[in-house]
């Protein structure tokens, strides 16, 4: 029994040992499989990497061409600009305040109406002024009539003077004849050839002729005095006429003030009263503006102001709300500088016959300081800046393909989106206009 028991234990022990050995073999087999699998996968990965590297090397040897935007370089006109802005203003603009008070009888225009200089815009009641004018005109007529009457008086006095002078001449002639006759008769009387009566008759005739001569001379003096008096009176009548004329003109001025007229060609921009209202000499009836031409006043910093020449410097005006551009010239350069902003003012006049520009609009001003014609011009974006220098790329043909070639350039005027090239490029070459940051010297490119 004991021996059988030992045999059974021995068999159990051998069975456990075989079982454990079997487990070890299985684990070893699994480990070996994993090891060989990993090695196999590593080999495959290595093979794939080597294949990829080989393909990469092949691609490096044959680089793909980079697509680029290109354009032919052309010559043209470019300007150095000073940018500023300003408000569009009327060339002339006033508020029309009446110069007379009274009820407004008529208003002949409204907002938006175009008017001519001197055109009647409104009528203020003028009954009082009309009466004063009629009275002044009558006074003027009286003054004119008085002058004409005085001129007749002067002519009459001059006629009287002529008659008086003729009488003096006649009396002088008669007096001379009687003097000769008296002397002859007095001699004959002394010789006893004539009677005393004959001598006395001659003496009487001589005395009468002498008296007539004195009277004629007195009449001449009176006629001269009458003429002088008439001339002085005429001057008085002329002074009265001048006074009457001045009074009439003054009344006419007051009468004209009852009419509100246009001081210049323009457009009515505001109307403040209606017929029947009372005109007030302190309140405007209309606003009127001359909008053709218009003016724009812009500001320029002090250091740039002296580059401009009035009457010669060109400008280009743009208004956001109006299509197109407007070309003009700097008309005025104001003489003073603002001591706070250190800026000066320029004035530009623009034709506005089509009335596209309205006062109050905001205008952008490009002052063309320098203009170069037949200049080599490229897009500004094509420039690459390094170390305060500029370069760009052009397209060069190499066999059947194209490559990017670097060019160092000297830049002149730089505008908003274009630049002038002074050296390094010429018209007719093909420029890489965009995407220069993605290319390098000698890199293959494809062009559109």
For 129-175, how does the pLDDT look when each residue is reduced to its tens digit (9 = 90+)?
Answer: 999 999 999 999 999 999 999 899 988 888 888 888 888 888 888 87
Counting other chains too, the contacts that 133-138 makes at CB distance below 8 Å and 24 or more residues apart are 133/248, 133/251, 133/252, 133/255, 135/251, 136/244, 136/247, 136/248, 136/250, 136/251, 136/252, 137/248
- CA neighbor of 396 nearest in space, from 431, 448, 440, 438: 431
Under DSSP, is residue 86 helix (H, G, I), strand (E, B) or coil?
strand
Phi, psi of 85 (to 5 degrees): -150, 170
Q: 77 Cβ partners below 8 Å, 6+ apart?
A: 371, 372, 373, 374, 375
Place of tokens 């061409």: 65
Beta sheet of 102-107, edge-to-edge order: 259-261, 120-124, 102-107, 278-279
What is the reported pLDDT for 62? 53
Q: Give the residues across from 333 on adjacent strands.
A: 346
Report pTM.
0.58
DSSP state of 126: -
**What pLDDT is stored for residue 361 in this prediction?**
93
The dihedral formed by the CA atoms of 126, 129, 133 and 139, expressed in degrees to the nearest 10: 160
The predicted structure's pLDDT at residue 448: 67
**Cβ(313)–Cβ(371) under 8 Å?**
no
Tell me how far CA of residue 300 lies from CA of 25, 338, 340, in angstroms: 98, 10, 13
Three-state SS for 400? coil
Structure tokens at 426: 């010429």
- Written as six digits, the tokens of 199 are 């001598």
Q: Is 320 in contact with 336 (CB distance < 8 Å)? A: no
DSSP letter string, 299-340? EEEHHHHTT--TTT-EEEEEETTEEEEEEEEEEEEEEEE-TT
CA dihedral 77, 82, 87, 91 (to 10 degrees): -70
pLDDT at position 110: 96
Q: Which of 235, 271, 79, 258 is nearest to 150 (CA)?
A: 235
Distance CA 431, CA 384 (A): 13
Give the pLDDT confidence score for residue 390 in this predicted structure.
92
**Among 347, 335, 331, CA closest to 299:** 347
CB of 446 closer than 8 Å to CB of 398: no
pLDDT of residue 144: 94
Gyration radius (Cα) of the chain, Å: 61
pLDDT at 354: 87
| pLDDT value of residue 63 | 64
Instruction: Indicate the helix (H) or strand (E) that contains 118.
Output: none
* Residues whose CB is less than 8 angstroms from the CB of residue 75 and which lie 6 or more positions away in sequence, other chains included: 374, 375, 376, 377, 427
| Of 374, 377, 405, nearest in space to 392 by CA | 405
Low-confidence ranges of the chain (pLDDT < 50): 1-61
Q: Which of 139, 145, 147, 144 is nearest to 250 (CA)?
A: 139
Residue 157 half-sphere exposure toward CB, CA atoms < 13 A: 19
Angle between helices 196-256 and 127-191 (to 10 degrees): 170
* Dihedral angle over CA of 139, 145, 151, 153, nearest 10: -110
Q: Which residue has the tokens 């170069």?
A: 372
The strand pairing partners of 377, in sequence order, are 74, 420
First to last CA, the chain: 106
Distance CA 289, CA 114 (A): 10
Structure tokens at 50: 């080597």
């Amino acid at each position: 029994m004991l021996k059988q028991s030992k045999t059974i234990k021995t068999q159990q022990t051998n069975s456990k040992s075989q079982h454990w050995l079997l487990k070890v073999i299985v684990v070893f087999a699994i480990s070996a499989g994993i090891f060989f699998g990993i090695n196999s996968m590593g080999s495959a990965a290595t093979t794939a990497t080597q294949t990829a590297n080989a393909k990469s090397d092949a691609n490096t040897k044959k680089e793909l061409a980079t697509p680029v935007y290109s354009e032919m370089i052309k010559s043209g006109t470019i300007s150095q600009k000073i940018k500023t802005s300003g408000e569009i203003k009327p060339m002339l603009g006033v508020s029309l305040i009446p110069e007379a008070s009274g009820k407004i009888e008529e208003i002949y225009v409204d907002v938006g109406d175009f008017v001519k200089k001197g055109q009647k815009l409104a009528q203020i009641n003028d009954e009082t002024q009309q009466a004063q004018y009629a009275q002044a005109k009558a006074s003027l007529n009286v003054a004119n009539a008085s002058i004409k009457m005085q001129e007749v008086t002067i002519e009459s006095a001059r006629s009287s003077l002529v008659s008086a002078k003729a009488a003096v001449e006649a009396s002088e002639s008669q007096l001379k004849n009687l003097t000769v006759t008296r002397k002859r008769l007095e001699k004959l009387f002394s010789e006893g050839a004539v009677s005393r009566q004959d001598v006395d008759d001659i003496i009487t005739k001589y005395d009468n002729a002498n008296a007539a001569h004195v009277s004629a001379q007195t009449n001449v003096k009176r006629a001269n005095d009458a003429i002088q008096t008439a001339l002085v009176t005429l001057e008085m009548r002329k002074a009265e006429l001048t006074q009457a004329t001045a009074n009439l003109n003054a009344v006419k001025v007051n009468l004209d003030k009852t009419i509100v007229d246009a001081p210049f060609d323009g457009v009515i921009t505001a109307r403040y009263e209606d017929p029947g209202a009372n005109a007030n000499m302190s309140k405007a009836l209309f606003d009127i503006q001359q909008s053709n031409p218009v003016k724009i006043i812009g500001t320029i910093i002090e250091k740039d102001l002296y580059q401009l020449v009035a009457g010669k410097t060109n400008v280009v005006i743009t208004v956001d709300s109006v299509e197109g551009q407007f070309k003009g010239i700097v008309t005025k350069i104001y003489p003073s500088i603002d001591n706070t902003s250190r800026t000066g003012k320029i004035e530009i006049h623009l034709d506005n016959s089509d009335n596209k520009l309205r006062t109050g609009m905001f205008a952008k001003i490009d002052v063309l300081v320098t203009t170069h014609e037949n200049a080599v011009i490229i897009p500004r974006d094509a420039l690459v800046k390094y170390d305060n220098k500029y370069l760009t790329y052009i397209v060069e043909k190499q066999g059947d393909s194209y490559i990017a070639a670097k060019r160092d350039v000297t830049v002149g005027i730089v505008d908003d989106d274009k630049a002038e090239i002074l050296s390094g490029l010429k018209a007719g070459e093909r420029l890489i206009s965009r995407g220069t940051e993605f290319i390098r010297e000698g890199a293959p490119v494809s062009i559109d």
